[in-house]
Amino acid sequence: MRSAERLSRLALGLLTVACAAIVLSPAPPWARAPFALLLVLWLPGRSLIGLALPATAWDAEARVIAVALSLSLTVVTGLALNVVGSLDAPGWVLSLAGIAILGLAATPSAASRDGHGGRGGAAGRSWRIGDLAILAIGLAMGGGALVYAREGANAHDQYRYTEMWLLPVGRAPGSSATLGLRNAERIRTSYDIEVLDGGKLVDRWPRIALDAGETRTMPVNATRGPVHRRLEARLFKDGERDRVYRQVWIDVPPEANPTTVRD
């Protein structure tokens, strides 16, 4: 019995080390997630229960409390990590795995009783392949329902629209403003753009075609003069020149020495 306990504790210790190593590895999130879950939601609490209640049967109650303890230890540990400025992955791994391993090391030998006694034991279970298959089908249907709901939510778009923006920040060399368009009309769409400086047409981009979801930006330069002026961009869709589909503008502040900066 004592060797079984020791073996069980060793297995938990190895699991903790494995979890710590995997979550710090560059593995993708879906591969790291199960081990991170064990480290955050199970191992520290499991270890503390063993340490605090060595005479307790490892029953359903102890398991439930172990999960709650793990969550609580994570919260309390997070406060401590914040104090030392290590609220990051290495900090979490060191602290949570450390708690789990220290707890296991300090556990008296009678603590581990996995699978022995306890009221949540194996009494009356009848595990049949057919039952497990039905259970698996039920769970798969539940998972399928979630995937289906996700697809429905992703496909849901109440509006067809075009985003237009004009910002007084030049991203291209030499430009002083940026004009942007994003087509969310769900189909390829054709646009015309006019740029007016102080009410006067200074530039045009006719027949810009964007695919659904495509974004295009254009550099714009503003001429600074003695007074505040408005640099305005107007958007027309599908050749409808009588209706301004979108309009955006920026306020161009005055400058002592006005210079024409348009390309």
Q: Closest distance between other proteins and the C-beta of residue 3, in Å?
A: 26
Query: 7 or 254: whose CB is closer to other proteins?
Result: 254
Partners of residue 60 on adjacent β-strands: none
For other proteins, the closer CB: 10 or 82: 82
The CB-of-171 to other proteins minimum distance in angstroms stands at 9
For every residue of 82-151, DSSP letters joined together read: HHHT--SHHHHHHHHHHHHHHHHHH--TT---TTSSSTTSSTT----HHHHHHHHHHHHHHHHHHHHHHH
Q: How far is CA 204 from CA 126, 166, 177, 238, in A?
A: 77, 15, 15, 15
Pick 167 or 261: Cβ nearer other proteins: 167
Which residue, 247 or 260, has its beta carbon nearer to other proteins? 247
Taking the complex as a whole, how short is the minimal distance between the CB of residue 208 and other proteins, in angstroms? 16
In the bound state with other proteins, the residue whose beta carbon lies nearer, of 2 and 141, is 141
The token pair at 181 is 């368009």
Gap between the Cα atoms of 60 and 162, Å rounded: 56
- Minimum CB separation from other proteins for residue 252, in Å? 9
> Quick one: DSSP state of residue 185?
S
Is the Cβ of residue 3 or residue 83 nearer to other proteins in the bound state?
A: 83
CB of 259 to other proteins, least distance (A): 21
Question: To the nearest whole angstrom, how small is the minimum distance from the Cβ of residue 134 to other proteins?
Answer: 4
Query: What distance in Å separates the CA atoms of residue 116 and residue 103, rounded to the nearest whole number?
Result: 21
Q: Are 207 and 238 in contact (CB under 8 A)?
A: no
Angle at 52 between CA 47 and CA 56, to 5 degrees: 95
Distance CA 5, CA 7 (A): 5
